[in-house]
A and B are shown apart, each in its own frame.
Chain A
Amino acid sequence: DAGVTQSPTHLIKTRGQHVTLRCSPISGHKSVSWYQQVLGQGPQFIFQYYEKEERGRGNFPDRFSARQFPNYSSELNVNALLLGDSALYLCASSLVQGYHEQYFGPGTRLTVT
């Protein structure tokens, strides 16, 4: 079975632009979470979606938004990009919401210039 997939792998954007990152969870998993990892640090929680509803939000500005589709895939959108948004964006899936094991995709490396 395929694991968590993310696209694109790498992305270069200019300050002020908008970006959309995509994630497909493991087949049968209904919960998707997004994390941001800047160089030298551990991943930081951005959002969690379950059954197409936002179930948790981390300490990120409103420029960050996300949604989950009926097939449980998800998009992360970031508006008005800043240099500080340069990071590895990781998507994780789990069977359902709660304390279950989470599995991570390979990530999207975003560079803002």
Chain B
Amino acid sequence: GIQVEQSPPDLILQEGANSTLRCNFSDSVNNLQWFHQNPWGQLINLFYIPSGTKQNGRLSATTVATERYSLLYISSSQTTDSGVYFCAVINTGTASKLTFGTGTRLQVTL
């Protein structure tokens, strides 16, 4: 099956810093989503981005499907950004089955 790897696995930032999270996948995809999982386990949708670039406030994401990677940018980080960030993909031909990456655990400190 498709492999989804995220880097870095852990990240500690001071409030106000910027960061880039990376998601690499091993096969063609028709869906790519970025999620933020809060300490209570809720998966919050950040972006649905099978290709192209999107921005939402301090967050933006870019997916280059032909090169099989996606990037999530967080600018001016806040303590509320802490948590685990997951990239998840649907491999072409496996409709509706999201395969999640390994996650990036982000801690933002004062």
> Chain A: residues with CB nearer than 8 A to chain B?
31, 33, 35, 37, 41-45, 48, 50, 55-56, 58, 88, 90, 92, 94, 97-104, 106-107, 109
Contacts and interface: CB of A to CB of B under 8 A. Distances in A.
B70 interface: no
A42 B45 CA distance: 15
B23 to A, nearest CB: 11
Interface string B82-99: 000010101000111111
B50 A42 contact: no
A53 B96 CA distance: 13
Given A42-B86, A42-B103, A102 B41 contact: no
Contact of A42 (B30, B31, B48, B100): B100
A33 B99 CA distance: 12
Contacts of B97: 33, 45, 48, 56, 58
A26 B19 CA distance: 33
Contact of B43 (A33, A55, A90, A94): A90
B46 to A, nearest CB: 11
Nearest to B44: A104
Interface in B38-96: 40-43, 45, 48, 50, 86, 88, 90, 94-96
Of A31, A35, A45, chain B has the most CB atoms within 10 Å of the CB of: A45
Contact of A56 (B30, B50, B96, B101): B96
Contact of A102 (B30, B50, B98): B98
A45 B41 contact: no
B45 A55 contact: no
A34 B41 CA distance: 15
A98 B100 contact: no
Contacts of B40: 106
Contacts of A42: 86, 88, 100-103
A107 B90 contact: no
Contact of A35 (B31, B42, B94, B98): B98
